[in-house]
Amino acid sequence: MPLRTIILGSCLLLACDTAESPHCPLGSAELQPGVCTATPKAGGVVVRVNSVGFLPGTPKQATYAGPASTFVIRRADGGKKPEDDPVVFPDMPGDVGPALSASDSGEPEVHVVDFSDLNVPGEYYVAVDGVGTSEHFRIGSDVFVEPFHAAMLGMYGWRCGTAVSFDWQDQTFAHGACHLHDDPALGGWHDAGDYGKYTNNGSFALGMMLLAWDHFRDRLEDVVLAVPEQDNGIPDYLDECSYQLGWLLGMQYDDGSVSDRLTAANFDPLTTMPEASTALRSMSSASTKATADFAAVAAHAARVFREFDPDLAQRAEGAAVKAWQFLLANTAPIQPPASGFTGSYSGDSDLDDRFWAAAEIFETTGDKDALAAFENASKTFNVAANWDWDNVANLGIFTYLASTQDGRDDAVVTRLTLALENSAANLAMTAETHPYGRSLGAYYNWGVNGTIARTTLVFVTASRVDPDNSRRYLDAASTQLGHLFGRNYYGRSFMTGVGAKPPLHPHHRPSIADSVEQPWPGLLVGGPSKSDPAPATVWQDDSADYTSNEVAINWNAPLIYALAAFQPTP
């Protein structure tokens, strides 16, 4: 998802009864391209809920726009009419929550339906008297298993330098071996809806997936994934991580610096399959931002792979140290090339990247100079709520606070722990008060769905250092998954192939160019962007709209982390 010119549309809200549209909320209609009805059609699904489902013991809420009413939860028994399905909760119709205003979606009155006390496994839906019903959802311990596997297939489908083939919901998705002239940096994941490969974003995405392994190894170690490396003695989850790591190691130059990106000069047409992308590609010159992110994730990977692939771990550690030494010798920022390549992950300083690198180098090697560099720089960083590739400091803080090395400054540990707890508490409060459970409230950015998923890293990491509030933070994390899977203005899942009415037209070249009607599964679209009076309303399920419907590895990776947090424990 490299930076591009942003062009936003908007959806005017008018009353009409026309055909339902993929551009508009569930139950509403489209007058003309980009113009939606405000009032849902009779019988439309207007109660917005996490259509994937809920774990027992976690918050369970739905949201609708309209007047106050009462609700019941019905078991989905397949009755011809909703009233034929049995009511399971509550004993008598329950009152919905008080009227709220959803400023970011322009809805003057919305209500929250809370059914958190329903924990019996089964398939259900919400029925609000005089308003309508929700999509069906499940309650069970395994509700996030399928989405997790889909998200991992999303990463596998992004593999470059090899043929890819897998099945999902009785459909085969495949592309041929591609970009075989990327030597010496073969492999890795395509970055987004295009075929470029970027060290900054590629390291960032891998770093979040490695953190998921650190936190949830017990839930991931025995998971069987549809990857070619099955039964090689390495957990399948780490096989996917290893594929990206191998590419990153090929991006390092002899002096320790690291190429900023590997792309062609121009983007391929949208109708280009990976194997048909034959434009000349090359490695760019190095940047200190890329070098620092590489040093960080290679050091982290060295720790993870020591047990499973000692040779790879040793190679990664050596490369990380070499990159770190280059950074020490080159304290002034080295910017990436300004032309000749597609996209750019640039425009900010490299201080946050060096900060992350210092933490990972210290944790892997015990280097006290790296520790000093981190602690000296820590005064300028806090735990960010909305963070992305342009501010990776959180990853450094998470590693530092969980460090097993000796020598940390107690005062720095205390300050950063409090910063983490404060950030998590503020995000949780926002999620608890926003009508759609968004941890970011009315904040929007390009790729905001990935940013929302990324708040789960803050929640879960805080739960590990603040046990008194652990339940609150984990509940807030599960609520973010609910928002992404349907409790949103559109009442739709934002992940291809999963949940109710998922995106059908992502800005993703293989989904556009292949002969399969359905898009490639397991991809989180960016979601509604900013620069609109009602920013929640500007998402379009349109492959041409890269500002709101592109997909990217730095959005999938935190979603994988969030889903890993709620996988069944052995």
User: Which pLDDT score, from 0 to 100, does residue 81 have?
Assistant: 79
The enclosing H or E element of 91 equals strand 87-95
Cis before residue 59, ω within 30 degrees of 0?
A: no
The answer to whether residue 189 sits within a structural domain is: yes
Catalytic, out of 30, 194, 236, 388? 194
Omega of the bond prior to 90 within 30 degrees of 0, cis?
Answer: yes
Question: Could you tell me if 262 and 384 lie in one domain?
Answer: yes
The answer to whether residues 153 and 237 belong to one domain is yes
Give the pLDDT score at 45. Answer: 59
Q: 419 and 434 share a domain?
A: yes
How many domains does the structure of the chain reveal? 2
Do residues 124 and 154 lie in contact, with contact meaning Cβ atoms separated by under 8 Å?
Answer: no
- The residue among 105, 120, 139 that closes a domain is 139
Cα separation values, 323 from 202, 253, 333, 352, 361, Å: 16, 9, 14, 16, 10
541 in catalytic set = yes
In a domain, 32, yes or no: no
Q: Are residues 353 and 502 in the same domain?
A: yes
* 61-65/45-49 β-pairing: antiparallel
For 457-493, what is the HEC assignment?
A: HHHHHHHHHCHHHHHHHHHHHHHHHHHHCCCCCCCCC
Q: What is the mean pLDDT of the chain?
A: 92
Q: What is the pLDDT of residue 84?
A: 87
CB 560 within 8 A of CB 236: no
Is 187 within the bounds of a domain?
Answer: yes
**550 among known catalytic residues:** yes
214 and 300 inside one domain: yes
Same domain, 223 and 121: no
Which member of 146, 360, 541, 542 is catalytic? 541
Residue 507 lies in a domain: yes
Residue 3 maps to a domain:
no
Give me the CATH number covering residue 128: 2.60.40.10
Q: Is residue 39 part of a domain?
A: no
Do 340 and 419 lie in a common domain?
yes
* Domain match, 423 and 442 both: yes
Alpha carbon separation from 141 to 54, 60, 568 (Å, rounded): 8, 14, 6
Q: Are residues 199 and 108 in the same domain?
A: no
**CA-CA-CA-CA torsion sign (325, 326, 332, 334):** negative
Task: Give the end of a domain, one of 114, 139, 164.
Answer: 139
Residues 214 and 283 in one domain: yes
87 and 40 in contact (C-beta within 8 Å)? no
Q: Are residues 314 and 376 in the same domain?
A: yes
Q: Which residues of the chain have pLDDT under 70?
A: 1-45, 347
Q: Give the per-residue pLDDT at 82.
A: 78
The full DSSP string for 17-73 is ---B-TTS-TT-BEEETTEEESSPPTT-EEEEE-SSEE-TTS--EEEEESS--EEEE
Q: Which of 104, 135, 388, 550 is catalytic?
A: 550
CA distances from 494 to 225, 228, 311, 557 (A): 22, 28, 39, 15
Which one of 115, 139, 163 terminates a domain?
Answer: 139
20 classed as catalytic: no
Q: Which amino acid is at 229?
A: E
Q: Which pLDDT score, from 0 to 100, does residue 18 have?
A: 31
Question: Which candidate in 507, 508, 542, 545 is catalytic?
Answer: 507
Instruction: Determine, yes or no, domain membership for 278.
Output: yes
Question: 92 lies in which domain range?
Answer: 44-139
Annotation marks residue 194 as catalytic: yes
Task: Specify whether 155 is located in the same domain as 99.
Answer: no
Instruction: Look at the alpha carbons of 274, 279, 282, 287 in this order and tell me if their dihedral is positive or negative.
Output: negative
Task: With respect to residue 38, please indicate whether it lies within any of the assigned structural domains.
Answer: no
CATH number at residue 395: 1.50.10.10
